[in-house]
Chain A
């Protein structure tokens, strides 16, 4: 298919989903570690806030993103006054929406993996003189990696399918913010069945691979790593 209306959403989706997956992995693993290992006031509140996009309707999450980061938003307003730039209706907004929506999946998965590790490994590492950072990167992370991989795959899939929150804050601008799910919606609305079909097939294929990978990662049991 040599059609910009097919390739542009695909290309944009790959950029958006790629960026979101990287952001979600780094932020999500960090949050998971803090939630799993640190005792502090408001820990459960932080967990609830991070989890919220999982249960809220995506349009509501998108609405809050506008309230917070839009041109006249609580934080976005200052940004706009200071720089004249706003995230609304940019491809970065699509990355933001996808990240916020996928983050809870990453955090849940990584937190469970980190919490399931026997704390004796970490104690052993500390007594061997290793700092918390070194222990985290050389012991905790490798031991939690199955759960973390599963979280990455789930986040990738969630980010790829993001529609509601993206539409709210990034809009549906062909070539700029129109990712695949939005393009499908538009193709159907415009009666372009072949385009809708092609895009839907691509998304379905990727989703099947994601489910397969997630199952494989979470069920694999091998004594030797």
Chain B
């Protein structure tokens, strides 16, 4: 369960300053953050990840507090254990697919005497085959297709054993044919990990397919939330048109 209730004043170069004020709860299912570009979706993800710090409010995953302005708590990005999946994958270009995934493998917790050391390479292989991209192991990101890249990126994220998953338009750089399949795989991964997935998109069809729940953002505020069909049918036309 992910609880978010945060405020952040944003001052970007060109557009006038506006205040992001987002509050919602995401269960251990896929929640879609939906809204036109500039509505604060990516900023919200960055605030949850800990790359940006809210001015006030709180962020919690289960009983773990990521941020609480009243109690002066602010967990570092490293300790939050969020999985972040980027639109253009952000695979490390100088590492092979296998090395990318191995980079994310969390070393065994300290203090557990006798625990066998996790073999990072072995674990990377496992995850690559779980996402059916084992054949890419020795290749570099530049030699991968969009679908392969995003699968490797998912594998890398899973390697770090996240407690919450943030996906920032993960399909927008993937060709249409691959999208459908990847969407189902993301759904499968959510079911098997059973952690909250926060999925950013501005594509209504994608939102309906993947989302158990939709949070509709506009100009930094939550304007509606609920079941995807309910939330998106009312405002469907307007939101579809507001991008591109």
Contacts and interface: CB of A to CB of B under 8 A. Distances in A.
Does more than half of chain B's interface fall in helix, strand or loop, or is it mixed? mixed
B133 interface: no
B115 interface: no
A129 B84 contact: no
Given A138-B103, A223-B142, A224-B142, A127 B82 contact: yes
Given A123-B84, A223-B142, A142 B94 contact: yes
Interface size class of chain A, counting residues whose CB lies under 8 Å from the partner chain? 10 to 19
Interface residues of B, number: 29
B179 interface: no
B140 interface: yes
A130 B49 CA distance: 14
A123 B88 CA distance: 13
Given A123-B51, A143-B94, A224-B143, A128 B86 contact: no
Contacts of B51: 123, 126
A120 interface: yes
A118 interface: yes
B94 A130 contact: no
Nearest to B84: A127
Given A123-B84, A124-B90, 13 more contacts: A121-B90, A123-B49, A123-B51, A125-B92, A127-B77, A127-B84, A128-B103, A130-B78, A223-B140, A223-B143, A224-B142, A225-B93, A225-B140
Interface of A: 118, 120-121, 123-131, 138-139, 142-143, 223-225
Interface of B: 46, 49-51, 77-84, 86, 88, 90, 92-94, 103-104, 106, 140, 142-143, 156-157, 159-160, 162
